[in-house]
């Protein structure tokens, strides 16, 4: 297998493992409330993707790393801190969306590689589409939350005024440290066709 393709697959696999681990921490801290169904769905999605990518790596005589990167510990820290405040409600959606968009960008990078074997391209395109579907659902939920602040947000607003859950969001993504003042991240709905995501939102 081409070295660049192999490195891309390793990166995608690590991102899937990190994402799964992050959502598992979120699920634990959610304690059966709020975003629990979404966290469960995303765990299942990234677990399936990681397993599929792991099999591709094994075929290439590579041993998949199932533990994840240092970002797993970052996710745990973020979730622990976030759960001390308003809990894991819709306020985490901007960070989740940004993280998934970054994952999608990784898929776009490898899918543009002319050396990518057709059978692997089919697997990766299917994974990308499933993540995009979840992003679309999260964006719709985020928009609804902006229009209708949750009861927990209203109860915890204190002296800050009436804030929507999104107004005081915590950044939560799977590929590096957030820059609250960064520019929006370009993301493709289809490989090569760029759009702009809601990246760079601050917590």
Q: Note if the pTM is more than 0.85.
A: no
pLDDT of 75: 54
Rounded mean pLDDT of the chain?
74
Is residue 185 predicted with pLDDT exceeding 70?
no
Q: For residue range 83-121, what is the model confidence (pLDDT) as tens digits?
A: 544 556 787 888 888 889 999 999 999 999 999 999 999
pLDDT (average), residues 148-152: 56
Walk me through the domains of the chain, giving residue ranges and CATH numbers.
Answer: 3-196 (1.20.1260.10)
Using an 8 Å Cβ cutoff, are 12 and 48 in contact? no
Nearest-angstrom CA–CA distance, 17 and 40: 14
Per DSSP, the residues of the chain read --HHHHHHHHHHHHHHHHHHHHHHHHHHHHTTSTTHHHHHHHHHHHHHHHHHHHHHHHHTT-----S--THHHHHHHHHHHHHTTT-SSGGGHHHHHHHHHHHHHHHHHHHT-TTS-HHHHHHHHHHHHHHHHHHHHHHHHHHHHHHS--HHHHHT-GGG-S--GGGGPPP--SSS---TTPPPPEEEEETTEEEE--TT---
């Amino acid at each position: 297998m081409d070295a660049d393709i192999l490195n891309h697959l390793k990166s995608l696999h690590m991102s899937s493992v990190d994402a799964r681990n992050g959502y598992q921490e979120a699920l634990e801290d959610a304690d059966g409330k709020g975003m629990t169904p979404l966290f469960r769905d995303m765990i299942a999605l990234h677990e399936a993707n990681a397993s599929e990518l792991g099999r591709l790596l094994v075929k290439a005589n590579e041993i998949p790393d199932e533990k994840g990167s240092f970002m797993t510990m970052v996710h745990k820290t973020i979730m622990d801190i976030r759960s001390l405040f308003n809990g894991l409600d819709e306020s985490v959606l901007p960070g989740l969306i940004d993280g998934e968009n970054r994952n999608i960008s990784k898929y776009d990078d490898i899918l543009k590689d002319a050396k990518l074997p057709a059978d692997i391209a089919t697997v990766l395109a299917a994974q990308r589409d499933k993540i995009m579907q979840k992003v679309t659902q999260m964006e719709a939920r985020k928009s609804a939350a902006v229009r209708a602040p949750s009861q927990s947000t209203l109860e915890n607003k204190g002296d800050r005024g009436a804030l929507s859950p999104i107004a005081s969001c915590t950044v939560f993504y799977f590929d590096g440290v957030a820059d609250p003042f960064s520019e929006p991240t370009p993301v493709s709905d289809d490989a090569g066709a760029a759009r702009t995501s809601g990246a760079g939102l601050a917590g």
